Amino acid sequence: MSDQSFLRVVYADDQQPPPPPSPGDLSPEVTTLVDFFHRYAWPDVLAAKGDTAATRKDYLKSLEYWTVAVGNPPLAQISKRTCSQYVGKLRLVRYGKQRRLLSPASVHKHYVNIDRLLRMTGPADRQNPAGADVLERPPWLQGPKREHLAPLPPFSLDEIWRWLEVLPKLARPMPKISGYDPVEWWQALILVAYNSSMRSGTLLRIRWEMIKGHLLPLPPEIVKSKQGHLVWLNRAALAALEPLRKPEGLVFGWENWSRGESTFRKHRVRLQKAAGIPCFGLKALRRSFSTECGQINPLAMQLQMGHVGLGMRMAAEHYISAEKVLEEAVEKLPQPGRATQQKFF
């Protein structure tokens, strides 16, 4: 499986699946798990309750692994043995040019997605209200052991500053973006990623039309949240963005992200090696934000990152002035470089 290219049997995002029949029309002798997802699980359960496009992509990737591992048999032919083969082969998946194994967290995510779909094929009851009554006894998927690893380290402020310092000499244009000065582009990306805590997939999808002064209300379609969530852009982030400003369109000009991600990684690693810092991805800047802002205001840190628990969510959605909490905390974030320095270069 590690050397096998994935079979594109799931529907592409730009293709429309056939009209969904009623659950009673889903024959277990003919319907596969991929069919079941497109005809029932997504339109009648997941999309109906407001799950996002990002969630749909996660399920499609899980179904792709399922198809490669076990051949996508009809529901009636899925056995416990089929499920154990899927979990076993999932641990052996290698991806990317470096052929890295899936992380334990990714293995667990793809196991959970397939397990949920299998449970949806069963009878509807209190424990399984989304059951479609296609199978009387759906197969049981034995989950992999979940590893709880210690958090990876963040970038220190000194490391972020050293990364910024090498840009004037070493930043080069990338083929996926045009019309930007590469130094200004990288400065903005690094500093906005740190000060906003946005994931790279979200950061590279924000548009100028979304930004309302200091406020950036992120819509549900670019974050894993049914309501979207609010981000505060402090003065450091806005100052970094100013050289890129346009009337409208993508802030960072990267169309169809994450295509070209390997090119982005190559340029990032080259700059980080030159700066003598760890070659972490942009997620390490999110960890830097969590570390620094958590010391200033834990509530603001969770609001900005979108990590709000159920108890705190009630307060955040109905009582707390999120804008005020974010402004007072995020504006206090320490910045890389000398504290008195206002311009970076």
Query: Within 10 Å of residue 102's Cβ, how many Cβ atoms?
Result: 17
Q: What pLDDT is attached to residue 139? A: 82
Average pLDDT over residues 175-192: 93
Higher pLDDT, 37 or 15: 37
124-161 pLDDT, tens digit each: 888 888 888 999 888 877 777 666 666 778 899 999 99
Higher pLDDT, 310 or 183: 183
Q: Which residue has the tokens 């499609």?
A: 60
* Beta-sheet pairing, 94-95 with 229-232: unpaired
Q: What pLDDT is attached to residue 155? A: 92
Structural domain boundaries in the chain = 1-149, 157-330
Reported as a pLDDT band with limits 50, 70 and 90, residue 339 is very low
**Whether the predicted pLDDT of 15 surpasses 60:** no
Q: What pLDDT is attached to residue 316? A: 63
Q: What pLDDT is attached to residue 338? A: 64
Higher pLDDT, 13 or 329: 329
Query: Within 10 Å of residue 296's Cβ, how many Cβ atoms?
Result: 15
Give the span between the Cα atoms of 282 and 23, in whole angstroms. Answer: 43
Reported as a pLDDT band with limits 50, 70 and 90, residue 90 is confident
- Tokens matching residue 331: 């504006």
Higher pLDDT, 303 or 10: 303
Q: What pLDDT is attached to residue 345? A: 46
- Tokens matching residue 107: 């293995």
Average pLDDT, the chain: 84
Give the span between the Cα atoms of 90 and 62, in whole angstroms. Answer: 9
Give the span between the Cα atoms of 114 and 34, in whole angstroms. Answer: 10
Q: What pLDDT is attached to residue 140? A: 77
252-286 pLDDT, tens digit each: 999 888 888 889 999 999 999 999 999 999 999 99
Average pLDDT over residues 288-309: 86
**CA distance readout (Å), 88 to 9, 63, 108, 199:** 21, 15, 12, 30
Judge whether 188 and 243 are in contact, CB under 8 Å: yes
Helix extents (H) in 200-297: 200-203, 235-241, 261-275, 283-296
192-248 pLDDT, tens digit each: 999 999 999 899 999 999 999 999 999 988 887 777 889 999 999 999 999 999 999
Reported as a pLDDT band with limits 50, 70 and 90, residue 12 is very low
**Whether the predicted pLDDT of 4 surpasses 50:** no
Name, in order, each residue with C-beta under 8 angstroms of 341's C-beta and a sequence gap of 6 or more. none
Give the span between the Cα atoms of 273 and 189, in whole angstroms. Answer: 18
**Whether the predicted pLDDT of 92 surpasses 70:** yes
What is 157-330's CATH superfamily? Intergrase catalytic core (1.10.443.10)
